[in-house]
Amino acid sequence: MSCEKLREVEERLQKACERAGRKREEVILLGASKSVPAERIREFYACGLSTFGENRVQEFLKKYQALKDIVIDWHFIGRLQSNKVKYILGKVSLIHSLDRDSLAQEINKRAGAVQDVLIEVNIGEETTKGGVAPEELFAFYQHLLNYKNLRVLGLMCVPPYTEDPEKARPYFAKLRELKEKLESEFLVKLPHLSMGMSADFEVAVEEGATIVRIGTLLFGERR
């Protein structure tokens, strides 16, 4: 059953890549596995999914321990408290949710090696959501260049919730434009755009996503 779900998502992802004239290898499928037990993650791993993202540090650490015998590429995709940073460094390859200087400072201070991160942008400018305001992004990016143990690989967003994936398209396009502007302003290449979830990942791929974060479609509804 897990393999069937993965195959369905994989097929849709492939078609979206074709429509967009992109190669399937350009997009990482990340299983957003919050509330999914370790043994289900193991099933999906056996089906061929190897990148998973967690939102809560305690829950992540339990699964990390339980699944140490297999080679999972773990990402951290949720809000991160500075005092918990030390627990995940060295265990996650990418933190998607860097959104403030205090967190950057803590990562920089604690990291034994360079930690890859994405800047989360509050693309819908919602007061309830984390993320850097779009108009603060350039100054924030510039400031982060001071931190030697931190490498920014791109941007991440969670656009305002909507039933209609087409309504998310302008937000995805805006995130891509922000990334391109950063690249030309700072003469850098930022390889990643983490955007698109179960309801809208195909539109996100059409707008340039390089990481789609899928929970519900793979693992079912969360309780």
Ligand X SMILES: *Cc1c(COP(=O)(O)O)cnc(C)c1O
Instruction: Report in angstroms how near the CB of residue 34 gets to ligand X at its nearest.
Output: 5
Of the candidate spans 8-16, 43-51, 132-140, 211-219, the one that interacts with ligand X by CB under 6 A turns out to be 211-219
d(CA 86, CA 106): 8
Residue 166, CA atoms < 13 Å, CB-side half-sphere: 0
Q: Does 34 bind ligand X (CB under 6 A)?
A: yes
Contact, 6 vs 188, CB < 8 A? no
Residues 179-198 that bind ligand X (CB under 6 A): 197-198
d(CA 125, CA 171): 10
* Binding test (CB under 6 A) with ligand X, winner from 51, 55, 122, 210: 55
Q: Does 40 bind ligand X (CB under 6 A)?
A: no
Using DSSP, state whether 181 is helix, strand or coil: helix
Instruction: Report in angstroms how near the CB of residue 89 gets to ligand X at its nearest.
Output: 19
Q: How long is the chain? A: 223
Q: Which residue is nearest to ligand X (CB)?
A: 215
Of the candidate spans 60-68, 142-150, 159-167, 207-215, the one that interacts with ligand X by CB under 6 A turns out to be 207-215
Q: Does 167 bind ligand X (CB under 6 A)?
A: no
Q: Which is nearer to ligand X, 77 or 95 (CB)?
A: 77
Instruction: Please choose, from the candidates 51, 85, 87, the residue with its C-alpha nearest in 3D space to the C-alpha of residue 67.
Output: 51
Instruction: Report in angstroms how near the CB of residue 135 gets to ligand X at its nearest.
Output: 22
Instruction: Report in angstroms how near the CB of residue 53 gets to ligand X at its nearest.
Output: 7
* Binding test (CB under 6 A) with ligand X, winner from 5, 179, 192, 213: 213
Instruction: Report in angstroms how near the CB of residue 185 gets to ligand X at its nearest.
Output: 27
Q: Does 216 bind ligand X (CB under 6 A)?
A: yes
Cα angle: 50, vertex 62, 211; to 5 degrees? 30
Residue 161, CA atoms < 13 Å, CB-side half-sphere: 2
Contact, 51 vs 96, CB < 8 A? no
Q: Which is nearer to ligand X, 103 or 147 (CB)?
A: 103
Strand partners, 28: 211
Instruction: Please choose, from the candidates 111, 184, 183, the residue with its C-alpha nearest in 3D space to the C-alpha of residue 150.
Output: 111
**Residues in contact with ligand X by the rule CB under 6 A:** 32, 34, 55, 77-78, 158, 197-199, 213-216
